[in-house]
Amino acid sequence: MTSPQTSAVGHSHVFLGAAHEASERRTWAVIWLCGAMMIGEVVGGLAFGSIALVADGLHMSTHAGALLLAALAYTYSRKYAQDPRFSFGTGKLGDLAGFSSAIGLAMISLLIGYEALTRFLHPVAIHFGQAIPIAVLGLIVNLASAWLLSRGGHDHHHGHGHSHGSDEHDHAEEAHTVRASGGALVLSVFEDGVPPRFQLRRPAGALLLAKSIALETRRADGARQAFTFTDRGGYLESVEEIPEPHAFAARLRIDGEGDHEVVFEEHDHDHADHHRDNNLRAAVIHVAADAAVSVLVIIGLVLARVFGWVWMDPLAGLVGACVIASWSYGLIRDTGAILLDMNPDRRLADRMRRTVEACGDEVADLHLWRLGPGHLGAIVCVATSAPRDAAFYRQKLSAFPALSHLTIEIATPAS
């Protein structure tokens, strides 16, 4: 039997993104821009008898409505960030708004696709003189909106995740260049799906024998560990595994060349998903989707007018529907995973487990989930026979700054 012990340390439950207020202001600014455009198109269309202009103005109103959802999510989550009714804060409200927007995008893509297929079967007359200028005007507004929303250099790409190259360098935790007589050597910690080990890469064609290399690490508490290397073909790899945390000074000794000192610092290696603001991402996708459709429509209209290819207009709409559906799927998948508290980063969870178990204890249970942009919550149950309290493990896990809410449960053997 075991006896649980849970840490209970008072702390803030505000888990909003670092750029929350700036993103909120930008979203409201874009709403005002779209609102002005909407009113101008509707009034102008009614004044000049252009039903196409009125229709585009009404379309802009749906666009502004989607952005309004994002803006209200920002405002509400900020206003009620300290409300004790929200056990883990209001950081997920933006993900909820992003999920709702993604559902709306999916419906829009279906409507566009249906309309495009209908026009393939039953072509309609196109008024090029009105349609092309309206499409160009819509593109300009969307580009201006995208610029306003994306200011600040945040990551709002529309892909379905991270692109990881096949090269092992992509997974190196931290790399240092060492100048040797035969050329620059790269010393790194590698741990992609395997226990962490040092890797030493040599210049192409350079001869570097494993037996001529020795490495020793020195940690802040004075602990030292020696590492030997073996040849893996294109690189040398340490025989010994590197215990957590990966924060130490390393002395690399090369026979005949002396010592080289490098310092490794512990990082939590958060993926961009940890910091991604899905509320702003949804707003950007709405704008980008509209801009993409505008570009496709302009291309289709120009080709239809110049070459008489009337079928290009519905084809452009069908392609646009597929693009919007793809972006919508990615947003639904990512926000849905957060709302269902899926583990946002298995590699980070594994690193946390190794950090605790490096002390000789066992992690009996570990839960990791996202609380908001840049904030993770974790519950760690440690089985140990050592006289250690929650503060000991909290200090060990402090190397992972994304852990904004950490609960430690200690299970000890029954006496």
Spans in the chain with pLDDT lower than 70: 1-13, 15, 17, 41-42, 44-60, 123-132, 134-135, 151-173, 182, 192-194, 204-207, 266-275, 310, 313, 414-415
Name the token pair of 51: 């039903």
List the structure tokens of 355: 């950090």
pLDDT digits (tens, 9 = 90+) for 16-59: 767 788 888 888 888 888 788 777 766 765 665 545 455 556 66
The pLDDT assigned to 124 comes to 61
What residue spans define the domains of the chain? 20-161+274-339, 168-264, 344-413
Q: Which of 2.60.40.1120, 3.20.20.70, 1.10.10.10, 3.30.70.1350 would CATH assign to domain 344-413?
A: 3.30.70.1350
- Write out 194-242 in H/E/C secondary structure: CCCEEEEECCCCCCCCHHHEEEEEECCCCCEEEECEEECCCEEEECCCC
Tell me, what's the pLDDT at 409?
A: 92
Structure confidence at residue 306 (pLDDT): 74
E strand or H helix at 387, and its extent?
A: none
- CATH number of the structural domain 168-264: 2.60.40.3340
Using DSSP, state whether 390 is helix, strand or coil: helix
> Residue 24 has what pLDDT?
81
Can you give the pLDDT at residue 20? 80
Pairing, β 258-264 against β 248-254: antiparallel
pLDDT of residue 68: 86
Query: 20-161+274-339 belongs to which CATH class?
Result: mainly alpha
How much is the pLDDT for 171? 47
Report pLDDT for 152: 47
Its sign, for the CA torsion 76, 81, 85, 90, is positive
Q: Which residue has the tokens 């289709």?
A: 300
